Amino acid sequence: MAKQGYRYSAGKLVKHGLTRGDWPRMWSRPEARSSYDVVIIGGGVHGLATAYYLAKEHGVTNVAVVEKGYLGGGGSGRNTAIVRSNYLTPEGVAFYDRSLDLYNSMAQNLNLNVMFSRRGHLTLAHTDSALRTMHWRAEVNKLQGIDSSVIDPQEVKKQAPSLDVSSGTRYPILGALHHPPGGIVRHDAVVWGYARAADHLGVHLLQETEVTDILCEGGVGPDGKGAGGRVTGVRTNRGDISTPAVVNCTAGWASLISNMAGVPLPITTHPLQAAVTEPCKVFLPTVVVSGSLHVYVSQTDRGELVFGASVDPVGTYRVNGTLEFTEELAGHVLELMPGISKMRLLRQWSGLCDMTPDYSPVMGTTQVDGYFVDVGWGTYGFKAGPVAGETMAETIATGRDADLIAPFTISRFTEGDLVGEKGAAAVGH
């Protein structure tokens, strides 16, 4: 039975301000049941969104989200919070545009301010070939009805006055792909919004619960795992849970979970580092991305500059930051914006990315009945969170891959039908 959710409103804010009463907890910490209709592994944006849409759109509320740490502690809390839909392939464009729509109505639907700021998105071109790819992307985007166009350096300067658009730099700015609907969202709020809404609909959020094995029967591999088998449950550090459906939403750890079901993935795990400066007066009105310089930057509402880069070349599960990263980042950022040379970095961190060979996700049904994947999101998982949740929920509820994710199923690797999205990855990899 769904509980009545606590509504946030201006009236409640005044009431709590005057009475100094405690706000109710955003979600509960239930005891695990012995069985669920669906168990979702991974309590980030993707897992929570899948749980929310399963409960809301398909009436499946006997669902558990199991998370080995705390909600939003992985990639969902470590990304640089940029959203956009100016991708290179029609498949990618259709997918991410739906995600942007969902982000746009999210604050209303989840009754939580996710601070979605559609401030525009600039992808800088420093070479003729990059400029050509921008034109290509702009045309693909326009054909799909996405607001996207190539602008010249003077217009770039108008959009982001702090950029150095002179011709004397090592990587002169020759133009940019301008995408006005792109922007930034507060990523923690998205996690909390989905968690709270899913909890109100009856979904169990089981934190500090680590899956140690996926129980299968009938498969070709050892212990009934692998192709042709079906899922019967999961083993966790808090006991076994029986379930006919398991969803893998674990980003950087996706291979480890998937190997438990005997489904090898085309994924390698790489850390991606990011950093944030001390806050200052807002001077950067748009999101700026430079592929050649391996950097993207935006300024939060608090005034901090948030920098991201490409993934580290060495695949590892270790998430410590490196000096090489900050050195390189500083050099590249100062080339774009010489005026910020006196700013200090506040902190740097790193998150794990599940990289696929074609820079596209692996989603939907697998060769094991009842085992679903929503992985391979690499460096672009956050911006797809809502639509991934929506389409995965449909896939789980109907047992068939939703139309939007059909190009992204795992069978594309055995059939040799990869999706070429590398050209539109945020920065060169």
Residues at the interface with other proteins (CB under 8 A): 253, 255-256, 259, 264-269, 313-318, 322-324, 357, 413-414, 416
Nearest approach, Cβ of residue 332 and other proteins (Å): 15
Question: Is the CB of 357 or the CB of 420 nearer to other proteins?
Answer: 357
Nearest approach, Cβ of residue 292 and other proteins (Å): 18
Please enumerate in sequence order all residues whose Cβ is within 8 A of that of 349, keeping only pairs 6 or more positions apart, or say none. 78, 273, 274, 275, 319, 321
Please count the other Cβ atoms lying within 10 Å of the Cβ belonging to residue 410: 21
Question: Is the CB of 169 or the CB of 259 nearer to other proteins?
Answer: 259
Please spell the DSSP secondary structure of 23-54, one letter per residue.
PPPSS--PPPPSB-SEEEE--SHHHHHHHHHH
> Helix (H, G, I), strand (E, B), or coil: what is residue 120?
coil
Question: Is the CB of 175 or the CB of 266 nearer to other proteins?
Answer: 266
Nearest approach, Cβ of residue 195 and other proteins (Å): 26
In single-letter form, the type of residue at position 14 comes to V
Question: How far apart, in Å, are the Cα atoms of 156 and each of 162, 166, 423?
Answer: 10, 11, 21
Distance CA 349, CA 215 (A): 35
The dihedral sign for the CA sequence 378, 70, 115, 387? positive
Question: Is the CB of 149 or the CB of 268 nearer to other proteins?
Answer: 268
Nearest approach, Cβ of residue 253 and other proteins (Å): 8
Between CA 157 and CA 311, with CA 274 as vertex, the angle to 5 degrees is 100
Distance CA 215, CA 230 (A): 9
Question: Is the CB of 120 or the CB of 229 nearer to other proteins?
Answer: 229
β-pairing verdict for 38-41 and 246-248: parallel
Question: Is the CB of 10 or the CB of 323 nearer to other proteins?
Answer: 323
Q: Which of these, 117, 119, 261, lies nearest to 179 by C-alpha position? A: 119
Question: Is the CB of 59 or the CB of 416 nearer to other proteins?
Answer: 416
Nearest approach, Cβ of residue 69 and other proteins (Å): 15
Distance CA 67, CA 414 (A): 31
Question: Is the CB of 265 or the CB of 426 nearer to other proteins?
Answer: 265
R_g of the chain, CA atoms, integer Å:
22
Question: Is the CB of 64 or the CB of 267 nearer to other proteins?
Answer: 267
**Token reading at 57:** 């759109």
Nearest approach, Cβ of residue 183 and other proteins (Å): 33
At 195, give phi and psi (nearest 5°).
-65, -45
Nearest approach, Cβ of residue 251 and other proteins (Å): 12
Nearest approach, Cβ of residue 281 and other proteins (Å): 36
At 309, give phi and psi (nearest 5°).
-140, -165
Nearest approach, Cβ of residue 319 and other proteins (Å): 11
